[in-house]
Chain A
C-alpha cells in the first residue's frame, strides 16, 4: 500500500516511487533469499574436501584465475544479489578470523538454509526456526569441545603441525607436494612464532611469487626477499655484516610542503644556489656514511648525482623499496625508519648477516635477499610454478596452511576431519532434539540433518555413495562410541580419522558452525526486500 487517502479523500503517498521499486514480502521473500544463498553454496559445494574440484574465474578484464579457496571464489564471482552477498561476507569473515575452512562454512550455511526451506513449507515460523538452530548450535559447540583432543605440537619434530598443514593443503592443486610445502609452512611459522606467548606475527612471513620452475622448487628463505636491485648497476652486489640505514626520504633536495618561491635576481644568488644544491647531495651521503651504515634502503627515488655519490662512497643503495617491505625490514633487522637525513644516528641502523643479489631464469630479473637479520627471524617463502595461475593458487594454499599452523600454536586442541566431527555433533544434536518440547524440536532436528550434509557432500565429491557411507559412519560412531569415524576420502581403507591423521583445528570448526548459524539466522529474519527495480 503506497497510496492512502486522508480524511478529506485526498490521496497522499506513503512510499515514494513505489512503482519503480521491486518489493517482495513474506514467504516469497524468504524463499527468494534462501534460493539465492543456496545457489552460491551449490557452486562451492563441489570444491569441498580432498577430491574437490577447482573453479575457473574470469575477471572483468579477462584475467583468469583458478582456485579452490572458497573465500577467493565468492570474492571474484561478482555477486549482486543482496542475500547472496551475505554469504560472501560469511566466507570472508571466516578467512579473516581463521584463514581456513572458507568453503566449509558456506556449504554448511547452504545446508542449513535448505533445511529451513522445508521447515518453512511445514508452516513453522522463521523465528522459531532460528531459535531452534541457535539452541542446536550451542549443543554442537559444547560437544565439539568435549570430543576435541589436545595434541603436543612439539612431539616428533612437530609432526602434528605438519599433518594439520597437509590436511589444509590436501584439497588444493599443490596437493602432490603437500608434505614438502607443509614442512616449509611449519618451519616458517615456527621460525617467527613466539611460543611462550603462543602468538605468531604473520607479517613476518613474506610470501613472494615468481613464475618458472615447478611447485617443487618452492623454498624457504631464512631472510627477506625484495623484488628490487641496486640503484646503480655498478654497486657491489653483496654486503656482509650489513648495517642498514632505512630511509623514507628521497635523495633529492628537500621539497617543503608550504608553497614558496625562490627568486633569483642576480648572478651571485644563482651561483650560491647551485653550490647549496651540490652541498645538499654531499651532506646527505655524508650523513649516511658517517653513521657507519654500509647499505641504504630508501622508500623513494634518487637523483642521478646522489646516486653516483653513493657509488663513489662505496655505499650500495636500493631505491623504491615498498612501504610494507620497509616495515618488514625494520622489524627484522631492528632498524628504525628514518624520515630525515638529520636524524640518522648509529643506533638507528639495522643489522643483518648479509645482503646479496640473486638472479632467476633467462630474463634479467634480480632480487635482493637479506639474511640473518638481527632481531626476529623474518622469513620469506618463495613460490615457483609453471604459470601465474599456479603460483597464485599456491600462494593462497600456503597462506591457508600457515593460518592453520598459527591457530594450532594459539590453541592446540584439534578435532578430526573427514566429516567425523560434524557427524558426532549431528548425533549429539539429534539426541538433544528429543528433549525439546516445543516447535523448536523440528528445527533442532533439521540442524542435525544439515550437519550431516557436510560428510555427505565430502563423500559425493570423492565418488562414494553419499547415503550409504554417511549411514555406515553414523552407525559405527554410535556402536563403537568413537567420534572419529568419518568418510574415507582418500580410499585408504580406514574410516578412523585418527589413523588417517586428518587434523583440523577446533577453533576453525567452532567458528564455522557459529558463523554459519549466525548468517542463517540473519537471512531468516528478513521478511521484506525493497530494491530499486533496475537493480
Chain B
C-alpha cells in the first residue's frame, strides 16, 4: 500500500524483491565490507591463512584447501550479496591481469566503501563522493608513477630488483622462511623466458615427500610420463618426432562406413589390411629417422613393438599440454600426417639427452640441452599435498609478478611506502579543492592508509603509533622509509631491500576505485526470483 492508501498492484514476479535508496545502499556496504574484512587478516607478511572446506555430499568434496591467496579464497566463497560479488570479481580480474595483489584490491575497495558510508551518513550525495574519489585516484596514480623508478633490463640492478620483488611477494606466503631460496629460483626461471610472458614454458611439478627445501629448478624440461617398456632409457643426441595421431586403430573417418562380411576369410583379410595400414604408418614414421617418438594419444602394442624393434624410444599419451611443451622446447613440429620425410630436418626436434629419472617415488622423463632453451621446470617437494598446492599458488603469484615487472620495468618501495605516499598526495590535493569533494578526497587518503595499518595490525604491532611515525618520517623527507615488519619499527626500505612491482599497485588502485564507484552509484537493487532447480 502506498502513503495515500491505494493498494499497489504486484509488479514484479512472485519472489523477486526490490530495495530502494538507503536500504539498497546499506545492503551493498554491508556486503562489500564483510568481504573485505574476511580477507583482511591475510594481508602482509604476518597475515594468516584460511582453510576452505567445500560443502556438499560425496567423498570428492572433502578435499580442503589452506591458502593465503586472496583470489583463491574469494573465488571459492559462496556469497549472495551482489556488492560482495563485485569485489570477488575485481579480485579475479586482478589475478588474471597481474597475478598478485588480489587481497589488496578487495581490501582497498572495502575500505573505500567504509569511508564512503561515513560520508553518506553526513548527508553527502554519492555523486559528490564519486567526484572526489575520481580526483583522488588520478592524483594517487600520478604520485605512484612519479615515485617509481626504472632500471635497464640487462643491468645487474634490474636483476637485483627482481630478486627483491620476489622476496617481498613471498614474504606473505607459507614459504616465507625459504624466501631467499625461492626468490632466486623464480627469478632464474623468469629470466630464461628472455622477456616473453608466456608462463607455459615454466612447468611446475608437485611431488609430495621431502621438505620444501628439496624443491629445485631444473634447466631441462621434465615430462611427467614414462618411457614405454622395452625401450632405451637413455638417449643421447636425440631426434624427437612429436605427433598427434591415432596409433591405436586408425578408424575410418568417412561418415556412415560399416564393415559387413560374409565369411571368416574376409574377416581375416580385413584384419590383415588393418594391420598393414598401421605398419604403413609406422614405416612412414620411420622414414623420418627419429630416435624418440612422442605421441599425444595412446599407442597400441602392435605399433609400439614395431617402433621399439627399430630402436626408437616411445612415449605415449603425452596429452595436449605436454606435447606442446615438448614441441616448444625441442623445436619440433607437431605432426599428424607423415608423407613428407624430406622435411625431416625441419620437423624433428633435438635435444642433447633424454633420460628417465626418479623424483621421490615417481619416474619421469627429463629432456636436457633442448634446442630452444626457454623451457624449464620447477620441481616442488613438500610434506603434504596441501602445502604443495599453496606453494604452487605462491610460486605462480611470484612468477606472474616477475613477468609483469619484466614487461613494465617500473618498481616502487614496499612496506606500505607507496600507499602512504599516495595518501599524502591525496591529502595535499584535498587542501586545494573547493567544495564537498575535498571530504571524499580525504576519505580516499584514509582508505589508502588503511592498507599499511592493517598490515601492522596483522603483525600485532601498535598500528596507530607506527603509522603516525611513518607519516612523520615521510614528511621529514625520508622517502624510502617503510614498515619493518620483523621488529615493528619504521625502517629504510632501501636497506631492507623491500621492493614491489608498480604495475601491480597501479592495477589494484584502478580496479578498487572502479569497483567502489560502481557500488557507490547504486541506489536500487532488484533481485529476480531464484531459478528453481529440479531436484533429481
Q: Contact residues of A with B, CB < 8 Å?
A: 31-33, 35-36, 39-40, 43, 46, 51, 53-62, 64, 66, 68, 73, 76-81, 84, 173, 176, 211-215, 232-234, 252-256, 259-267, 270-271, 273-274, 276-277, 280-281, 303-305, 307-309, 311-312, 359, 361-364, 385-390, 393, 462-463
Min Cβ gap A442→B in Å is 21
Q: Are B11 and A39 within 8 A (Cβ)?
A: yes
Q: Which of A60, A212, A266, A271 has a CB less than 8 Å from the CB of B261? A: A266
Q: Are B333 and A60 within 8 A (Cβ)?
A: no
Q: Are A362 and B336 within 8 A (Cβ)?
A: no
Residues facing A in B502-530 (CB within 8 A) are 507, 510-512, 514-515, 517-519, 521-530
Residues of the B chain whose Cβ atoms lie less than 8 Å from the Cβ of A54: 518, 521-523
Known: A256-B256, A387-B514. 14 other contacts (CB 8 A): A35-B2, A57-B526, A79-B12, A81-B12, A213-B510, A233-B328, A234-B333, A252-B253, A253-B253, A262-B254, A277-B253, A304-B244, A308-B334, A362-B97
Q: Are A266 and B269 within 8 A (Cβ)?
A: yes
Residue of B nearest to A55 (CB): B524
Contact sample, A vs B, 17 pairs, CB 8 Å cutoff: A32-B9, A55-B526, A56-B524, A58-B526, A62-B80, A77-B16, A78-B526, A173-B521, A262-B256, A264-B270, A265-B261, A267-B266, A304-B245, A362-B95, A362-B97, A390-B515, A462-B127
Residues of the A chain whose Cβ atoms lie less than 8 Å from the Cβ of B404: 362
Q: Which of A60, A173, A361 has a CB less than 8 Å from the CB of B518? A: A173
Residues of the A chain whose Cβ atoms lie less than 8 Å from the Cβ of B512: 386
Supposing A35-B9, A263-B260, A311-B333 touch, asked if A270 and B273 sit within 8 A by C-beta, the answer is: yes
Supposing A39-B11, A61-B531 touch, asked if A277 and B254 sit within 8 A by C-beta, the answer is: yes
Min Cβ gap B247→A in Å is 12
Residues of the B chain whose Cβ atoms lie less than 8 Å from the Cβ of A359: 197-198
The CA of A311 and the CA of B269, in the complex, are separated in Å by: 35
Q: State the main secondary structure of chain A at its contact with B.
A: mixed
Min Cβ gap B110→A in Å is 14
The CA of A273 and the CA of B253, in the complex, are separated in Å by: 10
The CA of A62 and the CA of B244, in the complex, are separated in Å by: 41
Q: Are B524 and A78 within 8 A (Cβ)?
A: no
Supposing A263-B258, A387-B93 touch, asked if A362 and B518 sit within 8 A by C-beta, the answer is: no
Min Cβ gap A90→B in Å is 15
Residue of A nearest to B532 (CB): A60
The CA of A213 and the CA of B8, in the complex, are separated in Å by: 45
**B317 proximal to A (CB < 8 A):** no
Residues of the B chain whose Cβ atoms lie less than 8 Å from the Cβ of A274: 250, 252, 277
Q: Contact residues of B with A, CB < 8 Å?
A: 2, 6, 8-14, 16, 18, 20, 24, 28, 80, 82-83, 85-86, 89-90, 92-93, 95-99, 125-127, 134, 197-200, 244-245, 250, 252-262, 266, 269-270, 272-274, 276-277, 324, 327-328, 333-337, 340, 343, 400, 403-404, 507, 510-512, 514-515, 517-519, 521-531
Q: Are B524 and A53 within 8 A (Cβ)?
A: yes
Residue of B nearest to A77 (CB): B526
The CA of A266 and the CA of B18, in the complex, are separated in Å by: 72
Residue of B nearest to A386 (CB): B511
Q: Are B89 and A234 within 8 A (Cβ)?
A: no
Q: Are B524 and A46 within 8 A (Cβ)?
A: yes
The CA of A280 and the CA of B337, in the complex, are separated in Å by: 13
Supposing A260-B256, A262-B256, A273-B257 touch, asked if A56 and B269 sit within 8 A by C-beta, the answer is: no
Min Cβ gap A185→B in Å is 20
Min Cβ gap A309→B in Å is 6
